[in-house]
Chain A
Amino acid sequence: MSSTRFRLAGATLALTLAVVAGCSTGEGVDVDGADGAAAGGVLNAAIGGEPDQLDPHKTSAYYSFQVLENVYDTLVEPDANLEMKPALATEWSTSDDQLTWTFTLRQGLKFSDGSPLTAEDVVYSYTRIIDEKLNNAYRFATVKSVTAPDPTTVVVTLSAPTPNLLANLGGFKGVAIVQKANVESGEITTKPIGSGPFALGSYTSGDNISLVRNDNYWGEQPKLDGVRFTFVSDPTVALQNLRGGEVQWTDNLPPQQVPALRDGDDPTVQSVPSSDYWYLALNQARKPYDDVNVRRAVAFALDREAITKAAKFGLATVNQTAIPQNSAFYYEYAPYRHDPNQARQLLDQAGVSGLTMDLMVTSEYPETVTAAQVIASQLEAIGVTVKIRTLDFAQWLDEQSSGKFDAFMLGWLGNIDPDEFYYAQHHSGGTFNFHKYANPAVDRLLDQARTETDQGARKQQYEQVAKQIVDDASYIYLYNPDVAQGWSRQVSGYEVRTDRAIRFRDVALAR
């Protein structure tokens, strides 16, 4: 299981890919829009690595979703402010008891191969995720049944009110509507068929994935003829390619250069706060970390400004809670100031001295290795010796799930609803509660807020949850990073999104 919603693919693979990146030819792109009506052109985008596979229900790699965002659709989708807006469904209604949701699909929806997309396909997609217990099955935890009374109506029946159902069904393309024939033929892993603005043209393993405009798209036709994703793992190379004109877009920029790049105008580099958060977790199944004073001591010993500056070069916002400022659920609460004296006192109260802490980080996320060294030097100041253990991510995940750690640092990417921020991580029965936090009051609040339909009351409940989690130092939250992406001056109509979704449907390329 991945501890991030998107798992960035293996660095080893990416390393080998770096060699082949940047030398691809235009082969395989079907440029059929030569009539000059649309601006056209193929946009070359450099992403940090190759998708592990292209089945949206099975992959958890962010690289896959960078591509699939442009290939698939969901019933509803988040707009720039992460509010759910119509996509395949134009409207929806909820029964009085909040247990039945009825969605109405657009008329005449088609997959990119021309076959019709009906309510049956929605039922098939959701049932597949639920029955096969795929990655995102947890998003359907309260779903009792999904039915299609007619080709344009989908009825979702729930076991309990689920105020965040729209976010669950449309938050990202991991819950996309797939085609049954495509799944059953097994082609979905390399040649997925969706209903989005682009369709998969060709896939050259180790080199590029080419998308072509989907003429059967329900929305406004994209201006581009296609998009070619190349895999460039080295950010310095990706930036060079962008400057040299081999690519027109990349999100793989060297973080230390982003502040300077942002000030320039060619290439255009923009960054926006993301909904990701990075944190430190202490294993409460091990002594002395079961003592709240010890955890709070660590929280007081950390200088978050310094950690953030070292790990992200200012491309992040310090936060002591999980949810970032741009969210409607943001709760301003920062009880920990950098105070080594207070930290030492707390350790004394707990009767702890000469503590050695095993801190597990992974080289696949280099910022954890960097931040760990800063954390180590800050904890040294309160007499805690930190032993940094750098593992590859697969091994890291094994150690995490078997509880073999004193502490670890990692992040969660792309969450939208507060339930996603807190439930799996901090409920005593949560699937990602590897640090064994258990507080009955928090459990009760989390269960309650999950089904609370009054938005005001729900926000209040999550504020109580956030406060308690921070006070108990269940996770010691560090920062919310920014998303930085860059594109050449030829590109217009692109917007950096806080959920890291890469959408090329409205982009035009000047030639």
Chain B
Amino acid sequence: MSEETEATRSGEETGGGGAGRRSDGQLRRALSALRHDPLALTGTAVLALLVVVGVAGPWLAPSGINEVNIDRMLEAPSWSHPFGTDELGRDVLSRVMVAARVSLQVGLVSVGIALVVGVTFGLFAGYYRGWLDNVLMRCMDVLFAFPVLLLAVAIVAVLGPGLLTAMIAIGVVYTPIFARVTRAGVLSVREQVFVRAAVSIGASDLRIIVRHVLPNIAAPLIVQTSLSLAFAILSEAALSFLGLGVQPPEPAWGRMLYDGRGFVTEAWWLGVFPGAAIFLTVLAFNLVGDALRDVLDPRQLTVSESRRSSG
């Protein structure tokens, strides 16, 4: 096993080791690289803040999200309401904070669905090839052919609007990407010597797929996951904006943006703050995703390694 790992280091990255050790090393190196990347650090910090607010939002929020107070409607930002109040006199800051949970929840669950289903499809399609590959991937192609939002809207139209259906819809929409990324990785890994070796000593298909193939395609999947989170959150905002996501009075950034649309001239704070929240979250996921790709992508890594050795 250790020889295999050595071979990986000097040779082709994706053709690397059979088990977790290589990934551990790669991950350690990735983390150390991330620590020195200011953009990635900023992104990570924003995401950490987002997670804290998402988990503890209802306790951190200064007021209740549905505390309607008509006498204080459309008040500009002030010390008592840092983000102002909305058309029903509710505290915008509190609603933006609590809505972070919705966005995180939708992002994690929908990407989780896409990841599990897509990776499973990709692994089987890539490993077994043949008719299974054809059937699975042609189904993915059909899904892939639809514009993302159009497909999501169609699914919500069938299932009825709501948080759960929004998560399912976004999950389905992003499944083909994961299936393709996974399959592409599997196609090259399955030809490697260590896989053939595992076959020759009689390892079961499932064991080979889970223990040997999957760890070796983890890097692109991690990158894809972090980028998909950004797009999933954006899709959720779009669905909410169209009234197909979280239903009022529960807050969601997209929905708040929609409600603030009619007040652009009178109350800019209704749209600006939820809009900024969406912007920052998506930006943070993208920054982290880009940084992860830089350190995890085999080709990029090879380039940087070769530079290091030549320099």
The reply to whether B66 and A236 form a contact with Cβ atoms under 8 Å apart is no
Q: Which of A25-33, A264-272, A371-379 contacts B (4 or more CB under 8 A)?
A: A371-379
Interface size counted on chain A using CB atoms at 8 A: 23
A383 close to B (CB within 8 Å): no
Q: A373 contacts which of B66, B71, B161, B243 (Cβ < 8 Å)?
A: B66
CA distance A257 to B265 in the complex (A): 9
Pair B262/A310 contact, Cβ less than 8 Å: no
Inter-chain contact A309/B73, CB cutoff 8 Å: yes
Distance of A236 Cα from B266 Cα, bound (Å): 12
B165: shortest Cβ distance to chain A, in Å?
Answer: 13
Which chain B residue lies CB-closest to A255? B262
Residue of B nearest to A305 (CB): B70
- Interface residues on chain B, size class: 10 to 19
Cβ-based interface call for B268 (8 A): no
> What does the 1/0 interface line of B73-90 toward A look like (CB < 8 Å)?
100000000000001100
B273 at the interface (CB under 8 A from A): no
Q: Which residues of A (344-395) have their CB < 8 Å from a CB of B? A: 363, 369-370, 372-374, 376-378, 380, 388-390
Task: Give the chain B neighbours of A303 by CB distance below 8 A.
Answer: 70
Return the contact of A363 from the options B88, B243, B249, B263 (Cβ within 8 A).
B243
Kindly state whether residue B11 has any CB partner on chain A within 8 Å.
no
List residues of chain A with CB within 8 A of the CB of B88: 310, 370, 373-374
Q: Is B25 an interface residue (CB 8 A)?
A: no
Q: Which residues of B contact A235 (CB under 8 A)?
A: 262
Is A84 in contact with chain B by the CB < 8 A criterion?
no
A254 touches B (CB below 8 Å): yes
User: Cβ of A306 and Cβ of B70 under 8 Å apart?
Assistant: yes
Interface residues of B in 249-268 (CB under 8 A from A): 249, 262-266
What residue of chain B has the Cβ atom nearest to residue A363's Cβ?
Answer: B243
> Which chain B residues lie closer than 8 Å to A310 at the CB level?
68, 70, 73, 87-88
In whole angstroms, how far apart are the Cα atoms of A82 and B154 in the complex?
A: 46
Q: Which residues of B contact A377 (CB under 8 A)?
A: 66-68, 249
Cβ distance B174 to chain A, nearest Cβ, rounded Å: 26
A256 touches B248 (CB 8 A): no
Contact with B along A238-275 (1 / 0, CB 8 A): 00000000000000001011000000000000000000
Q: Contacting B262 at CB < 8 Å: which of A236, A369, A376?
A: A236
Q: How far is the CA of A461 from the CA of B260 in the complex (A)?
A: 46
Chain B residues closer than 8 Å to A363, beta-carbon distance: 243
Complex: chain A residue closest to B67, CB-CB: A377
Nearest 6 interchain pairs by C-beta: A377-B68, A306-B70, A373-B249, A309-B70, A390-B247, A374-B68
Task: List 19 A–B pairs whose Cβ atoms lie within 8 Å, in order of A's numbering.
Answer: A235-B262, A236-B262, A254-B262, A257-B266, A305-B70, A306-B70, A309-B73, A310-B70, A369-B248, A372-B248, A372-B249, A374-B88, A377-B66, A377-B67, A378-B68, A380-B66, A388-B248, A390-B243, A390-B247
Known: A306-B71, A363-B243, A390-B243. 10 other contacts (CB 8 A): A254-B262, A257-B266, A305-B70, A306-B70, A309-B73, A310-B73, A310-B87, A373-B88, A376-B249, A390-B248
